[in-house]
Every structure is written in structure tokens, then in C-alpha cells.
Amino acid sequence: MQSPSLDTLCMTSNPSDSTTHFVEHIYEQHKFPNTLQPIFCTPFSLSDHPQLERKPTQKRRKVVAYSTSSLDRGRDTYYKDWTVKDARSFKPEPTLLTETDSESITTLWEKVSMAGSERTLRSQTVSQSASTTSSKRPKRPSPYDKDFDSRILVPRSIAIESGISVKAYIHFGVKEPTGNRFQYYTKERGAKDSTLWLEDDEDFVNRIVAEYVCMVQSGFCEAEFAFYAAGTILKAEPRNVNLALKRCWRTERTVQLFARPILKQSSNWVQPPVISNDNHDHSTEYEFDLRPDCAFWLSLQAFNQDYVTQLQRMVFVIKKRMTCPYLTVEFKKDDEMEQAALNQVAGAAALVLYNRFILRKKTIGILGRSWTKSLVKTLRHYGITWTGSEFDIWCIVPVLTPEFEWAGCKMTEVYHGDCMNTSSVRELINWLNEIHCWGLTVHGPRCEKDIKFRMNAQESGLRISDIGVDSEDESDGSN
């Protein structure tokens, strides 16, 4: 039941009841200990306490009282049965209060006050302690940190280098495409089942240039640039719920996919190791939960469904749909955030490339073969950093010791362009087409071979074709 208000207590016909209700009200509001309840709720004489003694000279507050008979009629009739004359003629009954010890009341009030002070002091102490602990806790590394390169990338020998811009067909060592791009890549280049191909017709190129000019001049946010590129330039292939409908090489485009490395040593998705640690503050610890803005993976639709469930034992598989990414894209609004984009792409590429290297290394060990340059050449990853309308395309390759052990990786710029320029847009289209073609016709089949060799070595009894190793080194699809 809700405690009566102070005005209601003042209007009670029996003053002794008012005092009792008033003390109980104070007790409930302030939640005093149960040991204090009998004392607080016991009526006492106001005249015995020096602080509560009524002062005759003080002007009495005007009180409006109600007769007992009117209280029985309900709240709706309170004000109807009273007149001004009744209020003026009302005389309260004599106050009859039980005597009590005023010194005990004073002592109890002092204890309550001290308890409140102690609680305040404890809360301040706990707050200060938590603040001190938080200030001593090392800050979690972020690609936006100015020292991310020295704390995370350098100890793992992940280097970022500028380079000379070259045309896509020169980089991949293929002839320059002419005519209809869809026909060229699906028939001549062997990527027959993909729909990623971009045409470089004048109307399409001019629309892209006009859009970027408008976004830059209007000062649009990063999300606007990323949304437009994902919907127009970074095409996604239609997804099939049933991967077994048709076996073919397809890609899976993801947006800000969370794919943090697994800590188990037996995992097929581990972070690149620290090569040299000159920092003594353990700042090299990092979880590589980068969530790139956009990435392209190989769809499991290309693998035989008889053994697709066994892939997780050989290689990292996510969402039960994709594996072995080959392109990572990161967006930022302007040049001030360019370093953060570089850090994110470098970290994501190193993670992908190191696990790809481990897959190849295990396969070579099973076959009892030695490393060759061509076996290393097919190990690569591509990245794009986009700051506003300007973009950079990167090629990331492993750095190995003479014994072909992992010694880090190198991220080299292979093209720089601006989407407000028609020539740059055309070359961007060529680069994206060639990267996708490499991913579907070189990277994908090489990954499949490594996985099949490992499965054959385990004698799992699954129906896996026997693939020779002679053609592995014939052509790597790049220059």
C-alpha cells in the first residue's frame, strides 16, 4: 500500500495517528534497517525533544481538516460536505503521545547519518579504484591507431610498399581484352558460369564519373561511397540456397563479415605469426577481427558435394558456403583515413595469405615434393583501398626464407586511379575483371587441388578424382 502524503497526514482527524503515519512514511522512504523500525514507529512526545519542540511564537500553518463522518462517504464527497464555517469552527482533540527517550532518538539519527557517509565514501573509493584499473589497462590495438604499423604489422614482417601503376593485362600476362567482356571471360578465359564481368562502354563509364564528381563535391560520407561502389562496380553473384544444383566456379561477396582467427593450434584459420618482437609491452597481441568492408570468397558450389562436408578439416569454411578469399576492399571517406584503410587491408590479406601458405605447405609435405618458384607464384591476394573517389589496387605476396618458411608478406601498389577520371574508371573495370578471372580460373582450382591431395592422403574412401601434379606449374595466370 502506498504511504500517505504529508498533506493527507496533516488532515487526519487524530493528531496522534498523524504522527505515527508520518514516522512510518519516513521509515519506508529511506529504507532504514529493521532494527530501527520499533523506535521510529513508536509515538513520542514532541515537547521532549529540543529540535522538535513546538515554538509558540511561530505562526501556525493554516490547516484544513475533515470530519470523520465525511471520510466514510468516500473521496468524491470530501469537498461537498465542508463549508468555510465548518473549517473555522473545527477544534482538534488534545494530543496524547506516549513518552519516549529523546536521547535515544538523537543517537539513532547520528548512526543513520554516519552510515550514509560511509556508503558515500565506499562508492567514491570503488569508483576511483575502477578508474585507476581502467587507466592501467593497455589499449586494444586498432587499425586507426597511428602506431598500428609498428605494433602489429612490423613485428609480423607485413610490409606496405608503393609501386608503379601498370595495366591489368600486363600484370597478369594476358592479352588485352577487346569487344564484349562477358563473351571474352566466359568463353575465351574459361570462367563460363560467372556473372561478375563489367563492360567498359562509354555510357557506363560516364555515369560512374558523374556520380563520383557529385559525391565528392557534396562531401558525402564514407557509407555513400561504399554503397554506390558495392551496388555498381563490385558486383555480387546470385546466391543459390542449394549449392548442389550446379557444380561451377562462383564467388561469394561479403560485407563486413566477422571472421576472427581461431585460437586452436589445429585450426585452419590462424593469425600470421610474430617474426620479431622488439616491443616489450606485449603490444603484438592482436585478434585480427578486422571486418573488411567488402571481400570476395570462393563459393563451395565448385566442390563435389560428396566431400564438401569434409572441407572444414582441410581449410577454413565460413557460413557453410565459402572458403579461400582472394580480394579484400576497404573504404574511407578521404585521404586523412587512408592509413587506416591500408592497415585493414594489409592485416586481412596477411591473415588470408598465411593460411593459404599453410594449406600449400601441408600438401607439398604429403606429396614429398620440394618447393618451386611456380608453386610460390600462385600464392597471392589482392586488395583495393578506396578513399573518396581515389583508389589503389594492391597485390600481396608471401616472403619466404631460403628454406621456404614463412617470413612475412609484402603488399605492393600496382595501380592508382581516380573515379572522377574516365581513363581510371576503364582501367579499374579491367583490373576487377582480371582479378575475378584469376580468382576463378587460377586461385580456385589450385586451392581445390591442394584440398584433394590431402583428402587422398587420408584414404577417406570418398570419391575424389586422382589429379596429377605435372600441370600444377604450367601456368600461374599472372606475370
Counting residues of the chain whose pLDDT is more than 90, the rounded percentage is 42
Q: Longest C-alpha distance within the chain, in Å?
A: 118
Cα atoms found within 13 Å of the Cα of residue 358, Cβ hemisphere only: 19
- Rg of the chain over CA atoms, in angstroms? 39
Write down the pLDDT at residue 48: 47
Would you say residue 308 has pLDDT above 50? yes
Report the amino acid identity of residue 235: K
What's the mean pLDDT in 437-458? 89
- Render pLDDT for 88-135 as a digit per residue (tens, 0 to 9): 554 545 444 445 556 666 666 666 566 555 555 555 555 554 444 444
Ranking 31-45, 137-151, 199-213 by mean pLDDT, the lowest is 31-45
Ranking 48-62, 345-359, 422-436 by mean pLDDT, the lowest is 48-62
What's the mean pLDDT in 12-34? 51
397/171 Cα distance (integer angstroms): 14
Ranking 24-28, 31-35, 50-54, 344-348 by mean pLDDT, the lowest is 50-54
Q: Which residue has the higher pLDDT, 415 or 114?
A: 415
Average pLDDT of the chain?
Answer: 76
- Render pLDDT for 169-185 as a digit per residue (tens, 0 to 9): 999 999 888 888 999 99
Would you say residue 440 has pLDDT above 60? yes
What's the mean pLDDT in 6-22? 48
Write down the pLDDT at residue 125: 54
Q: Which residue has the higher pLDDT, 141 or 18?
A: 141
Ranking 28-42, 275-289, 427-441 by mean pLDDT, the lowest is 28-42
179/7 Cα distance (integer angstroms): 91
Would you say residue 248 has pLDDT above 60? yes
Ranking 230-244, 280-294, 301-315 by mean pLDDT, the lowest is 280-294
Q: Which residue has the higher pLDDT, 4 or 262?
A: 262
What's the mean pLDDT in 60-76? 44
Q: Given pLDDT bands bounded at 50, 70 and 90, which one contains residue 9?
A: very low
What's the mean pLDDT in 244-272? 83
Write down the pLDDT at residue 105: 63
Write down the pLDDT at residue 409: 97
Would you say residue 207 has pLDDT above 90? yes
Contact assessment for residue 423 and residue 202, using Cβ atoms and an 8 Å cutoff: no
Would you say residue 165 has pLDDT above 90? yes
User: What SS3 string covers the chain?
Assistant: CCCCCHHHHHCCCCHHHHHHHHHHHHHHHHCCCHHHHHHHCCCCCHHHCCCCCCCCCCCCCCCCCCCHHHHCCCHHHCCCCCCHHHHHHCCCCCCCCCCCCHHHHHHHHHHHHHHHHHHHHHHHHHHHHHHHHHHHCCCCCCCCCCCHHHHHHHHHCEEEECCCCCCHHHHHCCCCCCCCHHHHHHHHCCCCCCCCCCCCCHHHHHHHHHHHHHHHHHCCCHHHHHHHHHHHCCCCCCCCCCCCCCCCCCEEEECCCCCCCCCCCCCCCCCCCCCCCCCCCCCCCCCCCCCCCEEEEEEHHHCCCCCHHHHHHCCCEECCCEEEEEEEEEEECCHHHHHHHHHHHHHHHHHHHHHHHHHHHHHHHHHCCCCCHHHHHCCCEEEEEEECCEEEEEEEEEEECCCCCEEEEEEEEEEEEECCCHHHHHHHHHHHHHHHHHHHHHHHHHHHHHHHHHHHHCCCCCCCCCCCCHHHHCCCCCC
117/232 Cα distance (integer angstroms): 65
Q: Given pLDDT bands bounded at 50, 70 and 90, which one contains residue 33?
A: low
Give the CA dihedral 191, 472, 477, 320, nearest 10 degrees: 50
Write down the pLDDT at residue 313: 84
Would you say residue 393 has pLDDT above 90? yes
Counting residues of the chain whose pLDDT is more than 70, the rounded percentage is 63
